[in-house]
Chains A and B, each alone.
Chain A
Amino acid sequence: MNPSFFLPPTQIFQGRRRALALSGAVLSASAVALLGGRDAMAAGKKASHSDTASDVRILNTALGAELEAIAAYQVGAESGLLTSGVLPVAVAFQGHHKAHADALAATVKKLGGQPVTAKAKYAFPVEKLKTQADVLQFAAGLEKGAVSAYLGAVPVFGDRALAQVAASILGDEAMHWAVLRQVLGESPVPAAFMA
């Protein structure tokens, strides 16, 4: 077995911080956005209006959730409850959500839609966030929900390149969820399949 699986949470987070500096092997937001619409162009055909409109709705729903996640991580970062080892990783995760949001908004625009914007106010259960564990549990719930949401979106995109974009984001959300669970002392990968 890989002994790194048993590293204490602090070391896991320190490792993550080092890894953040080496994250060049990922798609940029603009590169991900370029994937959108690729199916139709490659096939030399124009996507139907209804397919495109449906894809824009799905993308905008995902964008709304990403914007909420950005705000949620901001609440966590400003809570004063996160330790110096955890805070930079939470901020890094927030940065990932910002990248997702940028890619989704760019894709919506590319498809002729109007990207949704962040709400002026979100109703987070701040009264229940008393400890670092509370904050991380809250974040983990959002990340798990995001995995399920993208999993449910992948099959319904008319443009299969957009399904690839969603799957790419799904993988990132799943990594967030696993890291958060590890720090919370829970099994980071509790099952072989996600739903």
Chain B
Amino acid sequence: MAGNAIGAAQAAPAPDERAVRRGEQIYARCAACHAIESNRTGPQHCGLFGRRAGTAPGFSGYSKALRDSKIVWNARSLDHFLQDPMKAVPGTAMGYAGVKDPQERADLIAWLSVATRTGQSCTPSQ
């Protein structure tokens, strides 16, 4: 059992394809400020998972609050932040009410987990 648990932790299950497709549609809501492979009003998302908040390559528009937050982006931290960014990190520049529906957040995170894989799905800009 312990071996299985370790194995499961090491190899995260592939996201459900339908969730990923739904998540791609939800990501369109982010398109005023974000892109996967380029820094815009908001930072690029390529390489998001495992990255410390406030450290996207080449992006200088972070709030001090996010830079100081010590958040490392993963499914759990994204779920918390995306629910209410301004409550999760008071002072964030992301003036957005959040994605309130838990299923929509899960779908969006599923899409991000696929679309932001550096070297597989995307190449970060510098």
Query: Could you tell me which A residues sit within 8 Å of B by CB distance?
Result: 54, 57-62, 64-65, 68, 122-123, 141-142, 144-146, 148-149, 151-156, 195
Docked complex Cα distance between A169 and B52 (Å): 34
Query: Could you tell me which B residues sit within 8 Å of A by CB distance?
Result: 26, 28-33, 35, 38-42, 61, 63, 86, 91-98, 125
Docked complex Cα distance between A61 and B26 (Å): 20
Docked complex Cα distance between A91 and B29 (Å): 24
Q: Are A57 and B40 closer than 8 Å at their CB atoms?
A: no
**7 smallest beta-carbon distances between A and B, as pairs:** A58-B95, A145-B31, A145-B32, A148-B29, A123-B38, A152-B96, A149-B32
- Chain B nearest CB from A161 CB (Å) reads 16
Partner of A57, one of B39, B95, B97: B95
Main secondary structure of the interface of A (DSSP, over half): helix
- Chain A nearest CB from B49 CB (Å) reads 22
Partner of B95, one of A62, A68, A142, A144: A62
Partner of A148, one of B30, B39, B63: B30
- Chain B nearest CB from A61 CB (Å) reads 5
In chain A, what residue has the closest Cβ to B92? Answer: A57
